[in-house]
Structure 1
Amino acid sequence: MAYHLRSASTPSRPRSNKTEVEQQLQSLSTTISSPSATIDTMCDGLRRLGDIYSCIEKMMCTPSSQVSLCETLQRAAVEAELGRSLVVLDLCNGMRDSFMELKLTVQELLLALRRGEGVSSQVKAYVRLVNKVQKQFKKISKETTSDKNGSRVVMLMAEAREITMSLLESTSSILSKQVEMPKWSLASKTFHRTKVVCQEEQLQALEHSIGDLESGVELLYRRLIQNRVSLLNILSSYIP
């Protein structure tokens, strides 16, 4: 049922939350752009992003923020951000599928290695999958450019979205380096047993890490959906 939102003075706590979210975004941006970032870094980053989106949702649902988001000048920026969020949702959905495929490919690589079979075909399949993920970012980079004209809440949403894109792109870059053709192109039977054992351990760790990434993207996807639903409800329920 539609209802009138009443104006309210901005309380001190939401302003503090904004500062806190800004600090979290800045910290996360620095972490994922570090040359020493690993898959574990990205898994942790996905969890942190989920928490950030939850904080942004709480901020947007305060009475004062709802009024601000529905103002005529702000509404256009909000609707534009909603459109960009669809692109990121599609990307997250595609990444979930890609992580699932990558995990299966790593499992096949493990089996071939244990059987002493050639692994070049599995490695090529892995590389193809990672390249497919990286191409997705080139395709959508122009579709998610922000206009920087929204309210502070909208700006935080845009910053979170941009960091989400950066994190996922960095993840695909790191994954591409986990299995390299020169070291995996020979048949495993030509390796010493200790070398095979070492590679098995590396692949098992990679399989586990990809599973963590898959779970992290699933959590992030749900948070993005919830944010989008909350924002749509705010726009649809406000009567000027």
Structure 2
Amino acid sequence: MAVIETNTKISLHLRSNSLPSTSHPLVSQFEDNLQRLQSSEGTSSVSSSSVCNKLNGMQDLHDCVDRLLKLPIEQQALALECNEKYIDDLLERSLQILDICSTAKDCLLLSKESIHELQSVIRRRGNETEFTIEGVKYLALRKNMKKQIRKALVNLKAMKNELVASSSKNKENNSSPIFEFLKEAEAITLCSLEHLLLFIYDPKGHSKNSRWSAISKLMQPKRTVCDSQESDTNEFEKVDATLQSLISHKPSSTENLQSDMENLEMCIQDLEIGVEHISRKLIRNRVSLLNIFNH
């Protein structure tokens, strides 16, 4: 499997020539939100708080995109730049990004449902066999989930490469800066979704296992961690490790597991809300683009 470098930044250098003014409030808002998200790429760890912050930042960014797409001058610029290839690529990538969001939502939902089953066994004080069965089910689910995420990460890497290539071609053909504007939003969205998938996947929990060697490399590129305590926090990893210890009859505590599962459940809830909001905004912006191109 191809190694995916998570620290790769897609810098498309947005130019605002076609926008109402380089000092237009919406342009400034977009650039501020974009810069904050890009800055976090090099300084944030893949923790629940950093991922949630990225999801919130993406919501603000795509709100700016929505308002910009409502400006008559931008609609006109997009309509005039109706190159069929550009449009098809743009709309196809929007579907692919929505597919990545769907993968993340499915993984979060399945994890939450499996956790509820484990919690139910503990609450009714089920016997060791019942607990082991549910625990094995959960770990099997996680294994299957990681296969799905690996595929999604490979697709995401391909999309990043496509964006870089298409950006170079568009510059050669002097395409409208509004297309570069939209691609900046696409690029940072892919980076933020990549962080989300890596957090759910948790490669560092298996970095010593040769089966995970390719994926463990995902986390190896140079990245500065601001908060070492935060960098060690992964709610998925904690539940996986504690549950594995209990099933293997190694010293551990069901109280620790209950606490870890409660933390994971709250984490999943926050992530689900964030991904759902992002999905809705992406769909809304896709509809706006379709309306512009079809007029």
TM-score (norm 2): 0.67
Alignment of 1:26-41 (within 5 A): 26-41=35-50
CA distance in 1, matches of 2:153, 2:65: 25
Between the aligned residues of both structures, percent identity stands at 25
Q: Which residue of 2 aligns with 1:42?
A: 51
Larger mean CA deviation between 180-189 and 204-213 belongs to 180-189
Counterpart in the other structure of 2:152 = 136
Alpha-carbon deviations, 1:139-193, whole Å to 9, x = none?
3532452211253332232222222222222122222332365543233695778
Q: RMSD in angstroms over aligned alpha carbons?
A: 2.9
Q: Distance in 2 between matches of 1:130 and 1:33?
A: 25
Per the alignment, do residues 134 and 167 of structure 1 end up closer, same or farther by CA in structure 2, a change over 3 Å counting? Answer: farther
Residue ranges of structure 2 left out of the alignment (5+ in a row): 1-17, 203-235
**Take 2:19 and 2:194, find their aligned partners in 1: how far apart are those partners?**
37
Flag structure 1 segments of 5+ consecutive residues without an equivalent: 1-8
The verdict on how the C-alpha distance between 1:55 and 1:206 changes in structure 2, with shifts beyond 3 A counting, is: same
Instruction: Tell me, yes or no, if the aligned pair for 2:156 and 2:190 is still in contact at 8 Å.
Output: no
1:156 aligns with 2:215: no
Go from structure 1 to structure 2 and tell me whether the alpha carbon gap of 1:198 and 1:182 turns closer, same or farther (over 3 Å shift): closer
Q: Counterparts of 1:205 and 1:32 in 2: how far apart (Å)?
A: 25
TM-fit CA distance, 1:223? 0.6
Distance 2:44 2:57 in 1: 19
Which residue pairs with 1:53 in the alignment? Answer: 62
Q: Which residue of 1 aligns with 2:220?
A: none
Residue number in structure 1 paired with 2:246: 187
Cα contact 2:46–2:198 (8 A) shared by 1: no
1:4 aligned partner: none
Aligned to 1:3: none
What amino acid maps onto 1:130 in structure 2?
K
Q: 1:75, CA displacement in angstroms?
A: 6.1
Q: How many residues align?
A: 228
1:205 correspondence with 2:214:
no
Give the TM-score of the pair, scaled to structure 1.
0.80
Contact 1:92 1:217 in 2 (8 A): yes
For the structure 1 residues 187 and 72, does the alpha-carbon distance in structure 2 shift closer, same or farther, using more than 3 Å as the test?
closer
Cross-structure match for 1:97: 106
CA contact (8 A) 1:78 1:154 kept: no
Query: In structure 2, do the counterparts of structure 1 residues 35 and 68 end up closer, same or farther at CA, with 3 Å as the change threshold?
Result: closer
- Specify the alignment match of 1:233 in structure 2: 291
Measure how far apart 1:55 and its partner are: 0.7
Contact 1:133-1:172 within 8 A present in 2 as well: yes
**69-78 or 151-160: bigger deviation:** 69-78
Shift of 1:81: 1.1
Structure 1 residue 217 corresponds to structure 2 residue 275: yes
What is the Cα deviation at residue 32 of structure 1? 4.7
Q: Structure 1 residues 215, 121: CA separation in 2 closer, same or farther (over 3 Å shift)? A: same
User: CA separation in 1, counterparts of 2:79 and 2:27?
Assistant: 19
